[in-house]
Every structure is written in C-alpha cells, then in structure tokens.
Structure 1
Amino acid sequence: MKQALFQPLQLGRYTLVNRIVMPPMTRSRAIQPGNEANDIMATYYAQRASAGLIVAEGTQISAMGQGYAWTPGIYTQAQIDGWKKTTTAVHAKGGVIFAQLWHVGRVTHPDNIGGAQPISSSAIKAENVKVFVDNGKAEPGFVDVVEPRAMTKDDIKQVIGEYRQAALNAIEAGFDGIELHAANGYLINQFIDSGANNRTDEYGGSVDNRLRFLADVVEAVVDAIGADRVGVRLAPFTSLNGTVDANPVETYTAAAALLNQYNIAYLHIAEVDWDDAPETPLSFKQAVRAAFKGVLIYAGKYDAEKAEQTFNDGLADMIGFGRPFVANPDLPDRIKHGYSWAEHDPATLFGGAEKGLTDYPEYAK
C-alpha cells in the first residue's frame, strides 16, 4: 500500500478521502442534439467515485467553445439538468466532483460551432492540428482546424462573462467546484503562450499581459462561486494543439504566483506524457511549489511508486492518473492492494455508448 496516497486532504471546503485524482478526459458521449450529459456518463463517473477528486471531462461554456463532436456543454438548462445526473450519482457514492470549464478557442472547425469562424487571442492558425466532427457515422471524422479571428475587447468581455455564468451553472448542476482548462493549447492557453499570441494591446507581449486573460477569468469565477471552489489546470511544457511558449519556466512560474494571489483551491499541472517525453525539470517543480501555497496536483504517466516519491519530495499534494482510470474504475483499490491494472481499448475512447466506457469490471478478487 502506498501510504501517502491514502492520507486525507482538505481541498477548499471539502475533506478528501485520498490524494488520487481522476483528471478530465474527453469521452465524447453527450446526447445529440444538445450536447447534454446523460445516464451512461453518470454511471461512468459513479463507478470511479472512490477517487479523492474527480474532475469531469472538458465541458464547453458556450456553443463557440466546442472543439469536438459530441462533447458536453454547460450553458443550457437541459445541459445543467443532464449534469445533475452525474453529480447526484457521484455524491451518492461519497465522491467529490469538479466540472472542467472549457473553451477551445482556435482548436475547432466551423462544423462544430454552427459554421462560425473560431476565435482566439490572435489570428494564428494552429499548425498540424486536427479535430473531429460528426460526419454522420459512429466514428468521428478528423479535419484540419482553420484560421481563427483575433478576439476584440468585446469578445474578451463576453467570454469572461460566459466563464462566470458557466461556473454558476456548474454549482446549480451539483458540482462541488470548477476547474478552468488553461492547458493543452485551448483558449486561455492561446493567450498565455507567446507562440500563439501576437497581440499588441494589454493582452499580449509581456508575461504579465499574456497572463491577463487568465487573471480576468479567474477573478470572474472566484467572484461568482468562491475561491475555495476553483481550480486551474496548466500545461507548461506541452506543445499540444500547437501552442508553444518561448520561455515556459518564466511564464508558468509567474502564472503559479499569480494564481496564488487568488487563494484558489488548487493548481493542476499536466505534464507531457507521450512516449519518450522529457521529464518536467525538478527546478521548475520546486519553483512552482514555492510560488503556489494551495493544493498542487500533477498528472502525466504516474504510477503508484512515482506518485509516492513525488509526495515524499514535497512537490505535490495530489496525483492524477488519467488513462488508468478508463479501464480501472476501482483504481484506488488496485493501488492500495497492489493489484494489476487493466489496459483500455483506444478504439472506444471517443464516441459510442457503454462499450469502453462503463463495461470495464472491478478487479476480480
């Protein structure tokens, strides 16, 4: 048994039973039309409620915020009501669940946003990036993204308001809090990273300016639902979806210090997790730990041993296990008892129904 993983932890207003996080993973199974969370999603999350914290899949805050076919939203009453099924089911199992609020910015295609041109910090197309659209078949059809238009000041003000309302909607839907998706090349990340932002106003140029949109959104959601129900996810070293920063150590250490000022519940850092990916520098983790005093979560290719070592080194308070949770609904129990982990079927990750979502069994003792 890994002792540190099973110590309780205070996260904002919640006492978590362990330090294991189920991080957000897109599964693209929302009801169509309407992009509403449904009964099979409720079953899926309830099966995994033994995690100390669940962060539900990325959930678009508006119709323009959608990047992929069949992902759930949280901007209509029907979507709010759909998510109530999940939060009720998770709470019945004693779980704690946050909603991840998501606007993809330029990482989309007009087919996913009613024919509109995507928006971003700048009119810079993400190179070599594809998204999937509903092509009338059971399997998603992948297409290239298109060039976005640069957001005006009015656009920025509107989207900040959409984040605020989405946070209120999440609480109405029964979520215990929200996580802002500021990682993996999506909209907030498109303001942060220098390679995706060529603005010349107060939202571009210097590190402080590129962090301004993040700060404005955090301020809005903190004002709406309270800092103790807000987390933020960052991905300092990933080039996912075409965003790259010229100096990620400087930029993201500054981001951690900025977020600390708002007393948010947690900072969630997604490490690069592809094969042969470089390790996140120890010096960077130490700098983030010094800058951010709240709960610190890391995710990316962790096993129980690496998680335990990270705790022992004082670098994190919780660890996210992403893909392992897909095929192991009872992952905390498997970790606790040293049971083997099942492998997921990649072909069933996106789209479909119960197969590959709710049919993975618990460990057969």
Structure 2
Amino acid sequence: MGIVLNIENAKRDTASIKELIGLTSDDMGRVNKLILSKAGSDVEMIPEVANHLISSGGKRLRPMLTLAAAQMFGYEGEGHVKLATSVEFMHTATLLHDDVVDESGMRRGKKTARMIWGNQASVLVGDFLLGQAFRLMVEVGSLDALDILSTAASIIAEGEVMQLAAAKNLETTEDEHFAVIKAKTAALFSAAAEVGPVIAGASRPARAALRSYGMNLGLAFQLIDDALDYGGSSQDLGKNVGDDFREGKVTLPVILSYRRGTSGEREFWKQAIENNNADDGALEKAIGLMTRHSAIADTIGRARHFGEIARDALAPLDATPQKAALLDVIDFCISRVT
C-alpha cells in the first residue's frame, strides 16, 4: 500500500523561505515521490500511521536544507534526493517517538498517531521509517554521509533520554537545557546541512561551515519553539499552545522565570511543573510571570544570538542563490514570533 502526500499546507505562510522553496522545488518533488514509495508497505498499518504524520502539513525544512546545500556546491547526482528523504524519515520517526514519550495528544492540529493507533504502533512505525532512512543512506554509498546521519540518530536518542532524566526538574540549568536541545533538535539540522557538501565533494572548511550553520540554526529554531509555547499560535507551533507547560517540560522560559522569581513564585512553578497543577489558570499565571521576568523576550534573544552565529558560519563561502536562501531561513525561523 502507498500513502497520500499533502503538501499544500507547506506552501502557506512561507514567504521568507520562498527562495529556498523555489530552488529546491524540482528536487523536493522527487523527494516526495520517494517518500511515497519508501513509506509504503504491505503491512496495512504502516502506511496508515506514516501517512497520518507525513501528510499533516510540515514545511519539510530539513530536507530542503540538504538539497540546497548540495546544490550550493554543484552536485548533480541523485544522492542528495535520497539523503533528503532519509532526513525527513528520521525527523518523522523522531516525532512519532516524541509523542509517545511526551504522551502528547495533538500534533499539527490533529490527534497524534498514538491517540489513534496506540503507543506500540507509533514506536514500531517510527522504527520502520528509521530503517528505510538507513537503507537509503546505504544506497547513496557515501560512508561519510552515513556516518554523519547515523551519528545524528544516536545523538537524537541520547537527547530524548537526557530530557526524560531531567523531566520536571526545575533545577535544570540553562547549559543543561542547551545540551538537550542541541541533541534533540539541532543535531539533525546540522547533519541535514552537512551531508549536502559531503556528497558534492566540497572542502572540509565548507563542510564545517554548513555543519555549524545547521547546528546553530537548529538551536535558534528550538528556542523559538520554546517561546511560542507561551506566546504563539497553534498554527505557528504545530501543536497546542501551552502543551509544554501542561506536559511539565522545563524549557528555557520556565528555567529563566524560576531562577528570577521570588520564593512564592518558585513555589508556584513547583506546583505547576512538579505536581501537575497546570490548568488554564496556571498557564495564564505562568505567562504573566514570564512577562514580568522577561523570560520569553530573553529566550528570543538567545535564539537571535544563535541565528547570528549561523549567519557568520556561512560568511566565508562564495555568494550563490543557495547561500542567500539559507540565510533567509535564519530570518524565517526567528520571525515566527513576530
């Protein structure tokens, strides 16, 4: 059985990455066909679960990074399409697994797969997609690319365990939180950007530039997500506003508010995060405390800082349409909160 791919939602509200979409549109068409092919299975539940998430309107930013980065260095083969598909499958598998670990009920405005098919099916279909991702990497035949993406897969899993170990821990430091999001989110952005120049045979400095760009873009992206959970919209966030709060996640706005608060305010955070007293009234109070202590504004400021590091990483590279499009992505990621 195959799956139905709906990419219309991916075309809305993406003005600031218009150039990236235009440059990669032909290759993304091939990626989408490969997704249809490789996410299909004679086991009926696999394409059903995969389709539920794959067709739900993500912008496919990570595979577009792979395609643009390969184009940037003149790559003309087929490997970048397979690697971009691998990246998307890794991302989709991570979302399926994340929703089980986080016990999430909604994803991109729809019920999560675990709510429809159960935790076991979500985990196993995620594993299937990871397996398909690695098969595609092997087909490309680049040991360097395989090493980069397989290492990222391991780091992502480590990040999940790190987050689980730190769950509801209000003593989590800013550095510890950065370590988690570097593993959980930024590692895949970094790998997605680096494998492009790798298969194009680019120089080591060029590879390092794209690796650094992806890592810092990923950190900025996740920090904006942290901020959006307390001040964005469900459309921007891809899930319900306040989900992190209701799930007891200790993200940067919480860390900053807790550390800067009075003893009474810290007691509120303990009740909300540690004791699950996180109803709508508590969410409203949490946002008020974050505003009082500039926690959301400072989280956005941290994101802008990493965005500038990503921009500087590309500075030494020759000017190309792809470079300009990758720089636009930084602005797009930050602008989701404006």
The normalised TM-score by structure 1 is 0.29
Instruction: Decide which structure has greater helix share.
Output: 2
The normalised TM-score by structure 2 is 0.31
Instruction: Decide which structure has greater strand share.
Output: 1
